Amino acid sequence: MREVNVVVLPGDGIGPEVISESIRAVEIVAKDADLSITWREELMGGCSIDVHGTALTDEVLAACQASDAVFLGAVGGPKWDTTDPSKPRPEQGLLGLRSGMQLFANLRPVKPLEALWDASPLRRDRIAGTDLLVVRELTGGIYFGASGRDGDSAFDTCTYSRAEIERVAEVAFAAANGRRKKVASVDKANVLESSRLWREVVTEVGARHPEIELEHILVDNAAMQLINRPSDFDVIVTENLFGDILSDEAAMITGSIGLLPSASLGTGVAGLYEPVHGSAPDIAGKGWANPMATVLSAALMLRYSLGAPEAADRLENAVAEALNHGAWGRDLGGELGTTEIGDRLCALLAR
């Protein structure tokens, strides 16, 4: 059997619950794919702050850098909320992982399943046929620029280099080549200089891919069109802040943020895989969390980092079949809990 190493970061809130059920499902398909996975569990986020005083230790970062993939649950919660810039915050661990592993492209697929069309706040006819991918630049922009306070003023700086824009644009165009060959680049070029550079570079990259249709769209218009005509989008590529906001907005097309997976990729094979939803501390420990987004994130891990695309297909098909047969969590108006959903998925995979 082929051996791989995965660092598991269960994190905070419902993170450990959804990770546990997902690993159960992965083990079934991995065995059939002759894949032997060694899971190494580590602390990251608020739980790491409690033990080590920092959201991400150097030792955990080194383990992640040496792994074949990193599988993350969720981080954060009211316990660690603070506006004091001198105090550690769980999200710093996530930013540190992205930077330390050089993960510059975040991929978030959005494909509402027919069984859940009525769970979306949008009409059936509006979401039907939607199958889009948000490619978000992950290690630049305002989240990584200079920031601080000066008396009663505060500042956050958005900076992008040509190389940073070019590499994430190439990821988007490569993804579109295997899909419907359309890229929508989102910026605010009518106001921001960083966005004008973004549009300039993406246009240059697009010229190298004449088979791909390129559309430039301002971020405020993109936010409206995601609701008005989501099925028209194929691949959306945008900078860090805009991508963070738009990908969460797109979650509502599926009916629940609890169904959106994500992959964060860099220049190598290793990536970071996590559900889009947060730590949901209000339901942590109640057994109510829906693990399906985490299972779908594991499918992305199998496909992009662990070289097992057939196993990834099995996980995705099992999620769709389970939903078609009524395996709905409370986030979708159903009654099944975390373990019950995991049991349904594992039963389908074990057939």
Question: For residue 110, which amino acid is it?
Answer: V
- The torsion angle over the Cα atoms of residues 155, 158, 159 and 165, rounded to 10 degrees, is 170
Of the candidates 307, 305, 296, 239, the one whose C-alpha atom is nearest the C-alpha of residue 267 is 305
Q: Are residues 134 and 250 in the same domain?
A: yes
**SS3 assignment, position 107:** strand
Report pLDDT for 82.
87
Active site (annotated) includes residue 220: yes
Long-range CB pairs of 99-102, under 8 A, 24+ apart, other chains included: 99/139, 99/144, 100/56, 100/61, 100/64, 100/65, 101/61, 101/64, 101/65, 101/70, 101/264, 101/266, 101/270, 101/272, 102/139, 102/266, 102/267, 102/268
Lowest mean pLDDT among 41-50, 83-92, 288-297: 83-92
Active site (annotated) includes residue 273: no
- Residue 135's DSSP bridge partners are 107, 237
Say if 237 falls within a structural domain.
Answer: yes
Q: Are residues 310 and 242 in the same domain?
A: no
Q: Are residues 149 and 226 in the same domain?
A: yes
Question: How large is the average pLDDT for residues 153-168?
Answer: 97
Structural domain range at position 138: 121-254
pLDDT band at 1 (very low <50, low <70, confident <90, very high): confident
Say if 32 falls within a structural domain.
Answer: yes
Report pLDDT for 331.
84
Catalytic residue (choose from 12, 68, 143, 160): 143
Question: Cα–Cα distance between 21 and 294 in angstroms, integer?
Answer: 9
CA 169, 73, 328: angle at the middle one, nearest 5?
Answer: 100
Question: How large is the average pLDDT for residues 164-181?
Answer: 96
- Residue 108's DSSP bridge partners are 134
Which of residues 206, 226, 254 is at a domain's end? 254
Report pLDDT for 126.
87
For a pLDDT cut of 90, what percent of the chain falls above it?
A: 83
Any residues with CB less than 8 A from the CB of 138 and at least 6 apart, and which? 98, 103, 104, 105, 106, 168, 240, 243, 264
Say if 29 falls within a structural domain.
Answer: yes
Question: Cα–Cα distance between 268 and 196 in angstroms, integer?
Answer: 29
- Residue 5's DSSP bridge partners are 38
Which of residues 212, 230, 254 is at a domain's end? 254
Question: Cα–Cα distance between 97 and 11 in angstroms, integer?
Answer: 13
Instruction: Provide the domain count of the chain.
Output: 2
Here the CATH number for the domain that contains residue 209 is 3.40.718.10
pLDDT above 80: residue 257 = no
Catalytic residue (choose from 34, 58, 156, 220): 220
Say if 111 falls within a structural domain.
Answer: no
Catalytic residue (choose from 188, 234, 273, 304): 188
The 10s digit of each residue's pLDDT in 101-145 is: 999 999 999 988 878 787 788 888 888 889 999 999 999 999 989
Active site (annotated) includes residue 234: no
Catalytic residue (choose from 244, 273, 304, 331): 244
Q: Are residues 65 and 154 in the same domain?
A: no
Say if 333 falls within a structural domain.
Answer: yes
Active site (annotated) includes residue 244: yes
